[in-house]
């Protein structure tokens, strides 16, 4: 099973952004630019990146393979604890397939569209489809994903394009809302619920071409 370690073709970037207020787990209105909040197995949570040095940070990851100048894979936006990067929740967008001959910037900026996205039924890459896997690793390192029985969709509410600068590649600011069931990737233990999630995430262009 693929997990948040992304053991093949892994690129993880943690970015630093200025924030305006210290993280508050009881907040109902996010104060950070990037955040994820909702209910995890009956407990409310609110993870917000504020100053890039306190509590929570955003990151992007890419996984897949390149063959004769064609990349097939996924891009994931995630928010994690700054200490040990656990716990972490990742929203994995797939399946990308782009060649070095294409306009990579145009492909990246058009891949994530607004509207409902289905949950992927497996970790296999299926070219021509767009779907999402939610990954979660708890503070003890136990890993979960949405691969299993799911109802409903994840809704991409908005996508804002942000140009590259001296410090980062171009990126997307994506707002999503969803509820899902998370299944242990090692097949042991109970599934858990992630409900009423509201998140604004940063997805960086890490297509390796």
State residue 26's pLDDT score.
Answer: 40
State residue 190's pLDDT score.
Answer: 97
Residues in CB range of 168: below 8 A, 6 or more apart:
13, 15, 204
Q: Are strands 115-119 and 131-137 parallel, antiparallel or unpaired?
A: parallel
Q: What are phi and psi of 191, to 5 degrees?
A: -70, 155
Q: What is the mean pLDDT of each run of 10 residues along the chain (209 residues)?
A: 41 38 46 93 96 90 96 98 96 98 96 98 96 97 97 96 91 98 97 98 95
State residue 100's pLDDT score.
Answer: 95
How many C-beta atoms lie closer than 10 Å to residue 188's C-beta? Answer: 7
Q: Specify the pTM.
A: 0.86
What are the extents of the domains in the chain? 11-204
State residue 28's pLDDT score.
Answer: 57
On whether the CB atoms of residues 191 and 203 are closer than 8 A, the answer is no
Burial of residue 60 (CB within 10 Å: 0-12, 13-18, 19+) is buried
Give dist(CA 21, CA 27) in Å, integer: 11
Torsion sign (Cα): 80, 84, 86, 91: positive
Burial of residue 151 (CB within 10 Å: 0-12, 13-18, 19+) is exposed
State residue 30's pLDDT score.
Answer: 67
State residue 13's pLDDT score.
Answer: 45
């Amino acid at each position: 099973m693929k997990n948040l370690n992304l053991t093949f073709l892994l690129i993880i970037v943690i970015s630093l952004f200025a924030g305006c207020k210290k993280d508050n787990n009881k907040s109902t209105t996010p104060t950070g630019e990037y955040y994820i909040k909702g209910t995890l197995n009956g407990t409310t949570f609110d993870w917000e990146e504020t100053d890039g040095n306190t509590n929570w940070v955003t990151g992007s990851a890419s996984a897949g393979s390149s063959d004769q100048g064609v990349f097939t894979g996924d891009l994931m936006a995630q928010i994690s604890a700054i200490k040990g990067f656990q716990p972490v929740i990742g929203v994995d967008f797939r399946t990308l397939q782009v060649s070095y001959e294409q306009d990579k910037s145009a492909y990246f900026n058009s891949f994530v569209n607004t509207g409902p996205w289905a949950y992927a039924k497996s970790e296999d890459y299926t070219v021509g489809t767009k779907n999402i896997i939610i990954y979660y690793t708890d503070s003890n390192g136990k890993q979960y994903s949405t691969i299993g029985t799911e109802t409903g969709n994840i809704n991409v509410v908005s996508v804002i394009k942000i140009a590259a600068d001296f410090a980062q590649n171009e990126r997307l600011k994506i707002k999503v809302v969803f509820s899902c069931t998370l299944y242990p990737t090692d097949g042991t233990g109970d599934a858990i619920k992630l409900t009423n999630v509201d998140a604004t995430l940063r997805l960086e262009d890490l297509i390796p071409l």
